[in-house]
Amino acid sequence: MSAVELRRAYGQALLELGSRDERVVVLDADLSECTGTDLFEKKYPERFYQLGIAEQNMIGVAAGFATCGFIPFANSFASFATKRPHDQISISVAYPRVNVKIVGSYAGLSSSNTGATHQSIDDISTMRAIPNMVVVAPGDPEEVRQATFAVHAYDGPVYLRLIKSPAVPNFIEKGYRFEIGKAVVLREGKHITLVGTGMMSLICLEAAVILDKEGIQATVLHQPTIKPLDQQQLLKAAKSTGAVITVEDHSIIGGLGSAVCEVLSENYPCVVKRIGIMDQFTESALEVEDLFKKYGLVKEKIAEAAARVVRSKH
């Protein structure tokens, strides 16, 4: 499969689900061409609902569909899909545990030139804190496809986090099968564990190659489900290497890094370094690569941090 934007892979999977299950309905907040739901809109207009720029209402309508036996996928930019309707998500979806799928596109820094207000750097922490909510952040097109099917099959609220760009190739081995709550070891090493989620796991793999040249062997653990986190795989990797670095296109507060620290502090305390957006608002830029460089989410910076952590162990 050639490189495909994750939102487009999601749109294709949604289209396939539409042909399989007539209970699937799609709701959008005036962004169908951006969220990838335009394919569904064209093929199944009778099951597509354009709610306009009214995310709170969209979530309420989705909850209503779910109580009537439908499986609604509610879509918007991640920043607007999570924060604007937070009360409706909590009270109308999560509290009664109705079967609503909330899909946030343009997550993290990937919105780049659409503006800093569109960059959702706290959506994981926001959604992870809601009881009954599952949080999924797949990393490549094939995993997005499989995750969309898994989210559909899961009976309960799910937040599916997708990026706009860049288009990424499949980096997970062929034969891999996505399961909610399951991590995958992309490579094994004995000196340090790099834990990534979403497309940042690919950057972790690239950082591991740099570390190889310095004689440092890194395990790379991909956590596509942030809630529930795969604690078993995390603890196994941490015990094997004795040090962990988390990497996320998100604030270091409340996201993957926090989830990993929570598990390790209670079960296997060890050195942990969190790499992500610090406690700050982000900026807009024409190219997403410039933003990744500015905030240190590049393979060179990750490798440097990992090397420092390994040296500090001795």
Does the structure show a pLDDT above 70 at 46?
A: yes
| 8 Å CB contact between 220 and 246 | no
Strand ranges (DSSP E) for 131-190? 134-136, 158-161, 184-187
pLDDT at 115: 73
Convert the pLDDT of each residue in 198-249 to its tens digit.
999 999 999 999 999 999 999 999 999 999 999 999 999 999 999 999 999 9
Strand order from edge to edge, sheet including 184-187: 184-187, 218-222, 192-196, 243-251, 271-277
Average pLDDT of the chain to the nearest whole number: 93
Which residues does residue 102 pair with via DSSP β-bridges, in sequence order? 74, 159
Does the structure show a pLDDT above 60 at 165?
A: yes
Which residues does residue 28 pair with via DSSP β-bridges, in sequence order? 50, 75
- Measured from the Cβ of residue 68, the count of other Cβ atoms closer than 10 Å reads 10
Does the structure show a pLDDT above 60 at 1?
A: no
pLDDT-wise least confident of 24-38, 126-140, 259-273: 24-38
| Start-to-end C-alpha separation, the chain | 43
Domain parsing of the chain, residue ranges: 6-161, 184-312
pLDDT-wise least confident of 41-55, 155-169, 181-195: 155-169
Does the structure show a pLDDT above 90 at 306?
A: yes
pLDDT-derived band at 49, boundaries 50, 70, 90: very high
Convert the pLDDT of each residue in 55-112 to its tens digit.
999 999 999 999 999 999 999 999 999 999 999 999 999 999 999 999 999 898 877 6
pLDDT at 119: 82
DSSP-derived secondary structure for 24-57: EEEEESS-HHHHTTHHHHHH-GGGEEE--S-HHH
| 8 Å CB contact between 89 and 102 | yes
Does the structure show a pLDDT above 80 at 152?
A: yes
pLDDT-derived band at 2, boundaries 50, 70, 90: low
* Tokens 């603890």 -> residue: 235
Same CATH topology for 6-161 and 184-312: the answer is yes
Convert the pLDDT of each residue in 116-148 to its tens digit.
777 889 999 999 999 999 999 999 999 999 999
Q: Residue 50 phi/psi, 5° resolution? A: -90, 110
Q: Residue 42 phi/psi, 5° resolution? A: -75, -35
Apex CA 225: angle with CA 220 and CA 227, to 5°?
Answer: 125
Six-digit token pair at 7? 């939102």
Give the percent of the chain with pLDDT over 90.
80
pLDDT at 314: 64
Mean pLDDT value across residues 281-301? 88
Q: Which helix (H) or strand (E) holds 259?
A: helix 256-267
| 8 Å CB contact between 67 and 23 | no
Q: In terms of pTM, does the model score above 0.85? A: yes
For the domain spanning 184-312, the CATH number is 3.40.50.920
Q: What CA–CA distance (Å, rounded) separates 217 from 214?
A: 9
Does the structure show a pLDDT above 90 at 31?
A: no
> CB burial class (10 A; 0-12, 13-18, 19+) of residue 173?
exposed
- Say how far residue 255 (Cα) sits from the centre of its chain: 10
Does the structure show a pLDDT above 90 at 17?
A: yes
Q: What is the 3-state secondary structure (H, E, C) of 78-128?
A: HHHHHCCCHHHHHHHHHCCCCCCEEEEECEHHHHHHHCHHHCECCHHHHHH
pLDDT-derived band at 166, boundaries 50, 70, 90: low
pLDDT at 167: 62
pLDDT at 26: 97
- Measured from the Cβ of residue 253, the count of other Cβ atoms closer than 10 Å reads 15
Does the structure show a pLDDT above 60 at 37?
A: yes
pLDDT at 215: 96
Six-digit token pair at 125? 């922490």
For the domain spanning 6-161, the CATH number is 3.40.50.970
| 8 Å CB contact between 282 and 116 | yes
